[in-house]
Amino acid sequence: MKYNSITPQIVDELKQIVGERNVIYDDIEAMEAYSHDEVAEKHYAHMPDVVLKPASAEQISKIVKLANKYKIPVTPRGAGSGLSGGAVPICGGIVLSVEKMNKILEIDTQNLMAVVEPGVVTNEINNVVKEYGLYYAGYPMSVETCYVGGNVAENAGGGKAIKYGVTARYIMGLEMVTPEGDIITLGGKRVKDVTGYNLLHLMVGSEGTLGIFTKIIVKLQPMPVATADLLVLFNSVKEAIDIVPIIMTNGKIIPTSIEFMDELSFKTSCEYLNEKLPYQSAKAMLLIELDGDNMDIIESQYETIGELCMQNGAIEVYVADNATTIERVWRIRRNVAEAWKLVSPHQSLEDIVVPISEIPTFMDRLAELQTKYNVSIPCYGHAGDGNLHVTPVKDPEWSLDKWYDTLNKLLPEMYKIVANLGGTISGEHGIGHKRKPYMPLVLKDTEIELMKRIKKAFDPNMILNPGKLFDID
Could you read off the pLDDT of 440-473 as tens digits, one per residue?
A: 999 999 999 999 999 999 999 999 999 999 999 7
* Number of neighbours of residue 444 by Cβ within 10 angstroms: 9
* Cα 268 from Cα 365, distance rounded (Å): 22
| 8-99 CATH choice from 3.40.50.720, 3.30.43.10, 3.10.20.520, 3.50.50.60 | 3.30.43.10
* Cα 21 from Cα 6, distance rounded (Å): 18
Q: What's the pLDDT at 340?
A: 86
Q: What's the pLDDT at 279?
A: 67
Dihedral angle at the C-alpha atoms of 337, 340, 341, 344, nearest 10 degrees? -150
- The upper half-sphere exposure of residue 203, i.e. CA atoms within 13 Å in the direction of its Cβ, equals 27
Domain 104-222 CATH class label: alpha beta
* Cα 306 from Cα 420, distance rounded (Å): 34
- 3-class SS shares of the chain: helix, strand, coil, % to 5: 40, 20, 40
Angle at 267 between CA 261 and CA 269, to 5 degrees: 80
Q: What's the pLDDT at 321?
A: 67
Could you list the beta-strand ranges (E) of 147-243: 171-177, 183-187, 212-219, 221-222, 226-234
Burial 420-432 (b: 16+ CB within 10 A, else e): ebebbbbbbbbbb
Distances (CA, A) of 312 to 69, 262, 354, 439, 457: 64, 17, 22, 38, 53
* Cα 259 from Cα 326, distance rounded (Å): 13
Starting at the earlier edge strand, list the strands of the sheet with 226-234: 314-320, 226-234, 284-292, 257-262, 379-382, 387-390, 352-353
- Which residues partner with 455 through β-bridges? none
Under-50 pLDDT residues of the chain: none
Rg (CA), the chain: 23
Q: What is the CATH number of domain 226-335?
A: 3.30.70.2190
Give the chain's end-to-end CA distance (angstroms, integer): 6
pLDDT of 385-419, one tens digit each? 999 999 999 998 999 999 999 999 999 999 999 99
Q: Which residues contact 68 (CB under 8 A, 6 or more apart)?
A: 179, 180, 181, 461, 463
- Supply the pTM of this predicted model: 0.94
Cβ–Cβ under 8 Å, residues 89 and 73: yes
* Number of neighbours of residue 47 by Cβ within 10 angstroms: 15
* Cα 67 from Cα 150, distance rounded (Å): 22
Q: What is the CATH number of domain 338-430?
A: 3.30.70.2740
Q: What's the pLDDT at 369?
A: 97
Helix, coil or strand: residue 83? coil
Cβ–Cβ under 8 Å, residues 396 and 346: no
Cβ–Cβ under 8 Å, residues 458 and 178: yes
Q: What's the pLDDT at 356?
A: 86
Domains 8-99 and 226-335 share a fold: no
Q: Which of these, 171, 180, 182, 126, lies nearest to 149 by C-alpha position?
A: 171
Spans of all domains in the chain: 8-99, 104-222, 226-335, 338-430
- Which residues partner with 215 through β-bridges? 175
* Number of neighbours of residue 165 by Cβ within 10 angstroms: 14
Q: What is the per-residue DSSP string for 119-175?
A: TSBHHHHHHHHGGGTEE---B-TTTTT-BHHHHHHHT--BTTHHHH--GGGGEEEEE
Distances (CA, A) of 290 to 82, 281, 454: 28, 26, 41
Cα dihedral sign for 423, 428, 429, 430?
positive
* Cα 323 from Cα 316, distance rounded (Å): 21
* Cα 458 from Cα 191, distance rounded (Å): 26
Cβ–Cβ under 8 Å, residues 433 and 46: no
Q: What's the pLDDT at 206?
A: 98
